[in-house]
Amino acid sequence: MIVYKDSEIYIETEESQVPWLKIFTQEPFRELGDMPKELRRRLWEVYDIVEFYMNFYYKPTKINMASFGNMLPRVHIHVMARFKEDNYFPNPMWGEKLRDTELKLPSQEQFHKELHKALSNQFTSLQADRRKSGGERRKRN
């Protein structure tokens, strides 16, 4: 599911026990170093907001971040909220499963809504649909 998109970036959900998002650039790049500096700066700006809201909303034990792209060599940043009682902790989500617990987490739908709002407010000028919402541009000032 797409949680956010603009002309440079989009964010997808990954199906998992833990909150897990993937940040992609619209234009594909093999490695982080292949990306124009300005876009990389932008990618980390988006990452910051995702990390901040994940921390704020879920109060996880730790945020995990990774960029592999071994199957498909296209940079995308995984961002995961980890909890000491989740099935893999303290292993990475790609590691050995250690238990089988049910996590009680606040509504994912609400999290996606709040994150979308935060990103849209921050990056108004990059929203493809900015003309549909007349108030958006003024918020920047």
Q: Which is nearer to a copy of itself, 56 or 129 (CB)?
A: 56
Nearer to a copy of itself, 3 or 79 (CB): 79
Q: Is the peptide bond before 90 cis (omega within 30 degrees of 0)?
A: yes
Instruction: Give the residue with the Cβ less far from a copy of itself, 90 or 106.
Output: 90
Q: How many CA atoms lie within 13 A of 15 on its CB side?
A: 0
CB 41, min distance to a copy of itself, A? 9
Amino acid (one-letter) located at 62:
K
Cβ-in-10-Å burial (0-12, 13-18, 19+) of 13 comes to middle
Query: What residues line the site for a copy of itself (CB under 8 A)?
Result: 30-33, 40, 44, 47-48, 51-52, 55, 61-71, 73, 82, 89-92, 94-95
Residue whose CB is less far from a copy of itself, 95 or 137: 95
If one counts every other C-beta atom within 10 angstroms of the C-beta of residue 2, the result is 11
Q: Is 111 helix (H, G, I), strand (E, B) or coil?
A: helix
- Quote the least distance from Cβ 128 to a copy of itself, whole Å: 27
The least distance separating a copy of itself from the CB of residue 96, rounded to whole angstroms, comes to 9
